[in-house]
C-alpha cells in the first residue's frame, strides 16, 4: 500500500502529538482544529501547549511540508485516506464522558464522506465507553454520508496510551497497538498503516472487536489508578509504624514477578485529564449497566482523601492550626514536565489550605499561568513566586506536590536559609535521608513517624 494520507481531527495532546510523529515518519498529515489561533500557531511551527520535545518536531514537520493545520474538518477529510477522531471527551457532571465533540466530528466526517468515492478509514482514538463506536459513531457516519460502513468506508477504534510529559517518546515507541475493528478489511487497513509507521520496531499489534478495544483503554487507566490508590492507602498505614518506608516496601512487593512496581509510587494522589475522568466515566457506565463498581468508587475516595491527608500532615507539624501560617507549595501541575493543571492534587491541597486560612505562596516551573487561571475560578488567594527561593522566603512550612527535576536537585541549605524554619512535607518522596537529616523537620508520604498508635 502506498503511504496513506492522514487527517487528525482534534489537536489536543493526543491529536497533535500523533500528527507530529506521523509527519516525522514521512506521512502527509492534515491536523484539523476549530480554533484559528491554534491552527496559526501550529503552522508557525509551535505547539499550542507545553509538551517536552514537541515544539521542535512540529517545527520541522511543518517546515518539511509534511504537517499542516487547517481550520474545520472538510478539507482534512477530503484530502486524506485515514481520519483519526482525537477530540476530547471531558467529564459531565454525572461522571459520564461528554460525547458532544465526538458526535460533531463523526457527523462532519459523514458529510465529507458523501463526496468521496474511494474507500477510506475512520479511526476513533478518543476515550469512549464500550459501544460508542458502534452505537454512536457509525450511525452518524452512515446517516450523514448516505453510505454503509464496511462497504464504502472502514471503521476502527484504536485507543491511545501516551503519557503527558512523555507523549513524544510514547508515540514514537508504543508498547503495543490495539486495533478494534468493525470488520477484517478495516483492521487490515489500519494494521498496514501501523506497520509502515513502526517499520523495524517490533510493536505488537493486538486485534479485537470495537467494544473490547474501547474497554482496554478504561481497563489500563483504571487499573493504574487503582494501583496508586492502593499504594497511597498502604502509605497511610506505613506512616503509623516507626521506621517503615513505603518506598522500601514497594521494592520488596515489586520483586514478585507478578507485580509491576512502576505505578506504585505513593504520593499526593493522581490527577490529570485522564485517570480522574476515566475512573468516573467507568463508574457511571457500570452503574448504567446495573453493576455496582465498588472497587472503582473506593479508588476515587482514597484519591480524594490523599490530598487532604497531606495538608493534615502539615497541620500537625504546625501545631494543630494553619491559620496565618505561610505555606510554600512547590509544584502545581499534576505531574512534572507539563504545565497542565487539570485535576492536579494542588487544586485540592490549595483549597483545603485556604479553607483553613493559611497564607499560600506557590511556585511551579511551568504551570504558573494555568494555575492562576484555575485558582481565579476557585476564588482562592495565592501568591505566585518567580523562583523557588522567593517561594520559600519566610515560609513556615513547605509542601512538595510535583516532582520537577529542579526540586529534586535542591540542597537542604536553601530551605534552611530561606524559610522561617525548614519544615518540609514531601508529597512525592523526592528527598533522601541525607537531605532529611539536615532540615528542621521532614515528613514524607509513606514514611513512618514516631507518632505510633499501638492500641
Residues found near ligand UGA in the complex (CB under 6 A): 160-164, 221, 224, 228, 263-265, 267, 270-272, 274-275, 334-335
Q: Min. distance of Cβ 334 from ligand UGA in angstroms?
A: 4
**Is the CB of 275 or the CB of 384 nearer to ligand UGA?**
275
User: Do the strands 153-157 and 177-181 form a parallel or antiparallel pair, or are they unpaired?
Assistant: antiparallel
Q: Min. distance of Cβ 332 from ligand UGA in angstroms?
A: 12
Euclidean distance between CA atoms 123 and 82, whole angstroms? 7
What residue ranges in 36-160 does DSSP mark as E strands? 67-71, 82-85, 120-124, 153-157
Instruction: Select which of 274, 397, 398, 418 is catalytic.
Output: 274
Cell matching residue 367: 504551570
Q: Min. distance of Cβ 326 from ligand UGA in angstroms?
A: 25
Q: What angle do CA 328, 333, 337 make, to 5 degrees?
A: 115
Q: Min. distance of Cβ 1 from ligand UGA in angstroms?
A: 28
- 364 contacts 345 by C-beta, under 8 angstroms: no
User: Do the strands 6-9 and 29-33 form a parallel or antiparallel pair, or are they unpaired?
Assistant: parallel
| Beta bridge mates, 255 | none
Nearest Cα to 360, choosing from 325, 312, 309, 320?
325
Q: Min. distance of Cβ 343 from ligand UGA in angstroms?
A: 8
CA dist 404 → 19, 337, 339, 380 (Å): 27, 7, 11, 24
Nearest Cα to 395, choosing from 308, 330, 335?
330
CA 352 to chain centre: 23
Cell matching residue 248: 522500601
**DSSP string for 143-182:** HHHS--BTTTEEEEE----PPTTSHHHHHHS-S-EEEEES
Entry field: residues in the chain: 455
Q: Min. distance of Cβ 19 from ligand UGA in angstroms?
A: 16
Left if phi > 0, otherwise alpha if psi is -120 to 50, otherwise beta: which for 432?
beta
Active site residue 398: no
Euclidean distance between CA atoms 368 and 253, whole angstroms? 37
Q: Min. distance of Cβ 269 from ligand UGA in angstroms?
A: 6
- 31 contacts 43 by C-beta, under 8 angstroms: no
The set of catalytic residues is 274
Amino acid at each position: 500500500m502506498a503511504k496513506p494520507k492522514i487527517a487528525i481531527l482534534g489537536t489536543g495532546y493526543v491529536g497533535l502529538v500523533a500528527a507530529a510523529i506521523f509527519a516525522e515518519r514521512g506521512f502527509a498529515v492534515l491536523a484539523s482544529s476549530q480554533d484559528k489561533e491554534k491552527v496559526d500557531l501550529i503552522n508557525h511551527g509551535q505547539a499550542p501547549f507545553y509538551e517536552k520535545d514537541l515544539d521542535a518536531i512540529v517545527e520541522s514537520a511543518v517546515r518539511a511540508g509534511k504537517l499542516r493545520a487547517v481550520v474545520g474538518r472538510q478539507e482534512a477529510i477530503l484530502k486524506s485516506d485515514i481520519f483519526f477522531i482525537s477530540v476530547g471527551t471531558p467529564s459531565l457532571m454525572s461522571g459520564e464522558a461528554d460525547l458532544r465533540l465526538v458526535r460533531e466530528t463523526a457527523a462532519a466526517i459523514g458529510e465529507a464522506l458523501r463526496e468521496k468515492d474511494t474507500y477510506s478509514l475512520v479511526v476513533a482514538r478518543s476515550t469512549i465507553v464500550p459501544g460508542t463506536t458502534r452505537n454512536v459513531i457509525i450511525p452518524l457516519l452512515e446517516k450523514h454520508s448516505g453510505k454503509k460502513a464496511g462497504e464504502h468506508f472502514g471503521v476502527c477504534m484504536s485507543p491511545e496510551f501516551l503519557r503527558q510529559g512523555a507523549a513524544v517518546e510514547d508515540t514514537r515507541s508504543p508498547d503495543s497497538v490495539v486495533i478494534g475493528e468493525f470488520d477484517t478489511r478495516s483492521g487490515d487497513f489500519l494494521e498496514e498503516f501501523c506497520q509502515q509507521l513502526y517499520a523495524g520496531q517490533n510493536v505488537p499489534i493486538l486485534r479485537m472487536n470495537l467494544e473490547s478495544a474501547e474497554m482496554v483503554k478504561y481497563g489500563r487507566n483504571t487499573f493504574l489508578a487503582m494501583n496508586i490508590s492502593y499504594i497511597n492507602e498502604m502509605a497511610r498505614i506505613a506512616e503509623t509504624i516507626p521506621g517503615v518506608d513505603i518506598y522500601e516496601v514497594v521494592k520488596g512487593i515489586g520483586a514478585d514477578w507478578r507485580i509491576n512496581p512502576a505505578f506504585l509510587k505513593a504520593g499526593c494522589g493522581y490527577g490529570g485529564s485522564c485517570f480522574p475522568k476515566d475512573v468516573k466515566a467507568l463508574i457511571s457506565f457500570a452503574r448504567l449497566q446495573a453493576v455496582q463498581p465498588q472497587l472503582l468508587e473506593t479508588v476515587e475516595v482514597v484519591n480524594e482523601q490523599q490530598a487532604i491527608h497531606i495538608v493534615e500532615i502539615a497541620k500537625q507539624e504546625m501545631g494543630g492550626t494553619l491559620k496565618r501560617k505561610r505555606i510554600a507549595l512547590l509544584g502545581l501541575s499534576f505531574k512534572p514536565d507539563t504545565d497542565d493543571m487539570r485535576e492536579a492534587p494542588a487544586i485540592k491541597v490549595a483549597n483545603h489550605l485556604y479553607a483553613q486560612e493559611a497564607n499560600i505562596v506557590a511556585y511551579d516551573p511551568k504551570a504558573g499561568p494555568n494555575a492562576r487561571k484555575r485558582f481565579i475560578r476557585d476564588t482562592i488567594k495565592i501568591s505566585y513566586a518567580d523562583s523557588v527561593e522567593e517561594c520559600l522566603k519566610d515560609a513556615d512550612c513547605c509542601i512538595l506536590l510535583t516532582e520537577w527535576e529542579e526540586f529534586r536537585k535542591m540542597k537542604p541549605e536553601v530551605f534552611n536559609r530561606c524559610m522561617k524554619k525548614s519544615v518540609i512535607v514531601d508529597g512525592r518522596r523526592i528527598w533522601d535521608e541525607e537531605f532529611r537529616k539536615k532540615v528542621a523537620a521532614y515528613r514524607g508520604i509513606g514514611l513512618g513517624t514516631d507518632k505510633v498508635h499501638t492500641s
